[in-house]
Amino acid sequence: MPTSAYNNLVERCSEIALFNSTSSLLGWDQETCLPRKGVSYRAEQCAFMKGRAHHLFCAPEVDRWISECEQVDSGEDPVRSANVRDWRWSYDRATKLPEGLVEKSERVRAHAMSAWAMARKENNFPEFQPHLETIIDISRQKADCYGYNDTPYDALIEDYERGTTTAAVTELFEGLKPQLREIGSAAARRSEEVPGDVLGGHYSEAGQRDFNEKVARAFGFDFEAGRIDTAVHPFCSGLAPGDTRLTTRYDEKDFCSSFYGVLHETGHGLYEQGLPPEHHGTPAGNSVSLGVHESQSRLWENHVGRQPAFWQHWFPVAREVFEPLSSRQADDVVAFTTKSRPSLIRVEADEATYDLHIVLRFEIEREMLAGNLAVADLPEAWNAKFKEFFGITVPSDTEGCLQDIHWSMGALGYFPTYTIGNLAAAQLFAKVNEEIPGMKDDLASGNYARLLEWLRRNIHEKGGQLLPTDLIRVATGEDLSPRHHLEHLHNRYLSPA
């Protein structure tokens, strides 16, 4: 492989990484502490950063360097081969987008996220509607530039889960829906005996911050290379090596809301902190897909954080922090955190019903992109589908179609990765338990080192060397399948107590 061409690509991508990481920092700042009057200029900053990064990567010399590397790639160096493979895929895709469209998209996103936050706060969908209409229009333009065979959704989902298609997701979800509804109904009946106020009381925000940080640190999150802040919608930003930001939001009547949000984002953060820093800026140093990313967050949140063994260790600590728990037992927390009850809010949904939230969003955004659902009709369509799926009347758009940040970010095609992540999380955790005897004892003692080391070795340190489907196959010895996830749900909600 021509050393100069490869080194030129690494150098160019390192430069681009500076623009992208700075752009991500600007995005984090906007979602946590930017004054509202600063949004317009922030939009210009973000547009400049993304436009410049796009311009640098789409330059003709990049095509020439990639071609030189392709001509002599022997496959003997997996890192170099993976980088060349993904540079070609990314270059061919990026050069289909005009630089002006990239910049326009960033401007629209910045304004839309600000408008969404205000619309959500005020339960005012009409304030957000024109922004979402523009985002849908831009998303269709991007899909047309990329090209697609069946639906514009195919062109967009590739940004988040390379190799999958709308048809594949539709087939997966259609197969899962009846089983999820059956599990959800049975789980809800079984959970009726658990009082909704079993953990009722006041949980100070300061106490929640303290407890959240203790657990995140125990999982292995490095607070010298990261932090937790407050945002309207929880998220994780892996800004750069040594800088991974988590956010959550607080409800002083329910410490579990922020706590499980932090466990989820900590899973993302551990992945970001485990990526090989020596390959930062190149595909080999990046996370491989959003589905794999979500597998890490869902694994730590659910397969670790909702286990009775987990609370066997952490309940005494929580009782010291939270006065309402002084009269409770660890079993009360386990019962509450595994209680199944249809929820209006996706990020607070139990495992038995969570995937139906994803199916709902996928079906809606697919129809919006295809032009079969007008944005003006979104609240009505959302409420009707929610009633169909969950039997719940949505009381407000804040708790309905305005609850998630993703559409304001222009992230159409993202939502299916949550269920893909659930499938992968269950499959990975099953493999972990097969290869690491005594995992339950580790959880009961608060020892997560062996689990994290396994994930580091099999997922995190691989970066983008393998495509998503290949990574899961190599890590678990089988193709991604719903089997382990459905078995997990059956065991958690339907097996004899």
DSSP per-residue string spanning 11-67: HHHHHHHHHHHHHHHHHHHHHHT--GGGHHHHHHHHHHHHHHHHHHHTSHHHHHHHH
Q: Residues 314-317: contacts with CB within 8 Å, 24+ apart? A: 314/215, 314/446, 317/211, 317/214
Known catalytic residue: 174? no
- Selected catalytic residue, list 68, 103, 158, 265: 265
3-state secondary structure of 122: helix
Counted residue by residue, the chain has a size of: 497
Task: Return phi, psi of residue 105, to 5°.
Answer: -60, -40
3-state secondary structure of 349: coil
Strand partners, 168: none
DSSP per-residue string spanning 440-459: HHHHHTT--HHHHHHHHHHT
- The amino acid at residue 51 is G
Taking Cα atoms as reference points, which of 24, 89, 30 lies closest to residue 62? 89
Q: Which two tokens stand for residue 283?
A: 């595909």
Whole-Å CA distances, 118 to 111, 160, 221, 343 = 11, 27, 32, 23
Longest dimension (CA), the chain: 69
Q: In what order do the strands lie in the sheet with 226-230?
A: 226-230, 243-248, 236-240
Name residue, tokens 């967050």.
297
Q: Where are the alpha helices (DSSP H) in 289-343?
A: 290-298, 308-321, 330-337
> How far apart are the C-alpha atoms of 218 and 126, rounded to whole Å?
44
**Which residues carry out catalysis?**
265
